[in-house]
Amino acid sequence: MMEHIRRMDLHGRMNRTFSEILTALNDPAFNLHDHQIYIRYFARIGTRTDYVGIGWMRWWYQRNLIMYTNIANLAEGPEDRILAMHGCSHHHLILQFLRESGLVDTASPLEYLKQERPGRMNPAS
Protein backbone atom coordinates (compact mmCIF):
# COMPACT_ATOMS: atom_id res chain seq x y z
CA MET A 1 0.00 0.00 0.00
CA MET A 2 2.64 2.54 1.01
CA GLU A 3 4.56 1.92 -2.22
CA HIS A 4 1.45 2.83 -4.21
CA ILE A 5 1.04 6.03 -2.19
CA ARG A 6 4.66 6.96 -2.81
CA ARG A 7 4.18 6.53 -6.56
CA MET A 8 1.17 8.86 -6.42
CA ASP A 9 3.12 11.34 -4.30
CA LEU A 10 4.65 14.45 -5.76
CA HIS A 11 8.27 13.49 -5.06
CA GLY A 12 10.64 15.74 -6.92
CA ARG A 13 8.24 18.66 -6.72
CA MET A 14 11.08 21.13 -6.23
CA ASN A 15 12.29 20.35 -9.76
CA ARG A 16 8.89 20.88 -11.36
CA THR A 17 7.29 23.95 -12.81
CA PHE A 18 4.27 25.38 -11.04
CA SER A 19 2.19 24.18 -13.98
CA GLU A 20 3.54 20.62 -13.58
CA ILE A 21 2.70 20.61 -9.87
CA LEU A 22 -0.85 21.82 -10.53
CA THR A 23 -1.23 19.24 -13.30
CA ALA A 24 -0.19 16.43 -10.92
CA LEU A 25 -2.57 17.68 -8.21
CA ASN A 26 -5.48 17.80 -10.68
CA ASP A 27 -4.87 14.37 -12.20
CA PRO A 28 -8.12 12.36 -11.90
CA ALA A 29 -6.25 9.17 -10.93
CA PHE A 30 -4.41 11.03 -8.15
CA ASN A 31 -7.65 12.58 -6.88
CA LEU A 32 -9.49 9.25 -6.90
CA HIS A 33 -6.64 7.54 -5.07
CA ASP A 34 -6.56 10.34 -2.50
CA HIS A 35 -10.31 9.98 -1.94
CA GLN A 36 -10.10 6.19 -1.70
CA ILE A 37 -7.74 6.50 1.25
CA TYR A 38 -10.55 8.14 3.23
CA ILE A 39 -13.07 5.46 2.25
CA ARG A 40 -10.77 2.44 2.57
CA TYR A 41 -9.06 3.35 5.81
CA PHE A 42 -10.49 6.29 7.75
CA ALA A 43 -14.12 5.15 7.50
CA ARG A 44 -13.18 1.76 8.99
CA ILE A 45 -11.45 3.08 12.11
CA GLY A 46 -13.26 1.98 15.26
CA THR A 47 -15.20 -0.95 16.62
CA ARG A 48 -18.75 -2.20 16.34
CA THR A 49 -19.82 0.18 19.08
CA ASP A 50 -17.47 3.11 18.49
CA TYR A 51 -17.23 4.16 14.85
CA VAL A 52 -14.62 6.89 15.26
CA GLY A 53 -13.74 6.89 11.57
CA ILE A 54 -17.35 7.27 10.48
CA GLY A 55 -17.77 10.20 12.84
CA TRP A 56 -14.76 11.87 11.25
CA MET A 57 -16.01 11.02 7.75
CA ARG A 58 -19.38 12.59 8.55
CA TRP A 59 -17.54 15.80 9.41
CA TRP A 60 -15.41 15.48 6.24
CA TYR A 61 -18.47 15.15 3.97
CA GLN A 62 -20.16 18.02 5.78
CA ARG A 63 -17.08 20.20 5.27
CA ASN A 64 -17.02 19.37 1.55
CA LEU A 65 -20.77 20.00 1.22
CA ILE A 66 -20.27 23.42 2.82
CA MET A 67 -17.51 24.20 0.33
CA TYR A 68 -19.68 22.98 -2.56
CA THR A 69 -22.59 25.13 -1.37
CA ASN A 70 -20.39 28.22 -1.14
CA ILE A 71 -19.09 27.66 -4.67
CA ALA A 72 -22.53 26.91 -6.14
CA ASN A 73 -24.02 30.00 -4.48
CA LEU A 74 -21.45 32.26 -6.15
CA ALA A 75 -22.92 31.73 -9.62
CA GLU A 76 -25.46 34.42 -10.39
CA GLY A 77 -25.95 33.75 -14.09
CA PRO A 78 -25.11 31.27 -16.85
CA GLU A 79 -22.14 33.32 -18.07
CA ASP A 80 -20.41 33.50 -14.67
CA ARG A 81 -17.02 31.86 -14.34
CA ILE A 82 -15.74 30.71 -10.96
CA LEU A 83 -12.23 29.59 -10.14
CA ALA A 84 -12.37 27.43 -7.02
CA MET A 85 -9.09 26.69 -5.29
CA HIS A 86 -8.99 24.18 -2.45
CA GLY A 87 -6.80 21.45 -1.06
CA CYS A 88 -6.47 18.47 -3.39
CA SER A 89 -8.09 16.10 -0.88
CA HIS A 90 -11.31 18.09 -1.27
CA HIS A 91 -11.29 17.96 -5.06
CA HIS A 92 -12.97 14.59 -5.63
CA LEU A 93 -16.03 15.28 -3.48
CA ILE A 94 -16.51 18.93 -4.41
CA LEU A 95 -16.31 18.09 -8.11
CA GLN A 96 -18.75 15.20 -7.59
CA PHE A 97 -21.22 17.47 -5.79
CA LEU A 98 -20.94 20.19 -8.45
CA ARG A 99 -21.44 17.75 -11.33
CA GLU A 100 -24.30 15.87 -9.69
CA SER A 101 -26.13 19.07 -8.73
CA GLY A 102 -26.76 19.94 -12.38
CA LEU A 103 -26.47 23.61 -11.38
CA VAL A 104 -23.14 24.33 -13.03
CA ASP A 105 -20.87 23.06 -15.75
CA THR A 106 -17.41 22.12 -14.58
CA ALA A 107 -14.16 22.41 -16.50
CA SER A 108 -10.86 20.77 -15.71
CA PRO A 109 -7.82 23.03 -15.48
CA LEU A 110 -5.73 20.32 -17.16
CA GLU A 111 -6.28 21.60 -20.71
CA TYR A 112 -4.90 24.99 -19.67
CA LEU A 113 -2.07 23.53 -17.63
CA LYS A 114 -0.83 21.41 -20.55
CA GLN A 115 0.30 24.57 -22.28
CA GLU A 116 3.93 24.48 -21.15
CA ARG A 117 5.29 27.74 -19.91
CA PRO A 118 8.99 28.50 -19.58
CA GLY A 119 10.70 28.63 -16.21
CA ARG A 120 10.99 26.44 -13.19
CA MET A 121 10.20 27.10 -9.57
CA ASN A 122 13.19 28.21 -7.56
CA PRO A 123 13.44 26.01 -4.44
CA ALA A 124 15.19 28.86 -2.62
CA SER A 125 12.19 31.18 -3.08
φ, ψ for residue 98 (rounded to 5)?
-65, -45
**Strand runs (DSSP E) across 36-108, as ranges?**
none
- Measured CA to CA, the distance from residue 92 to residue 99 in angstroms comes to 11
Interval 71-103: pLDDT, tens? 999 988 888 999 999 998 999 999 999 999 999
For residue 13, pLDDT beyond 60: no
Interval 22-59: pLDDT, tens? 888 999 999 999 999 999 999 999 998 999 999 999 99
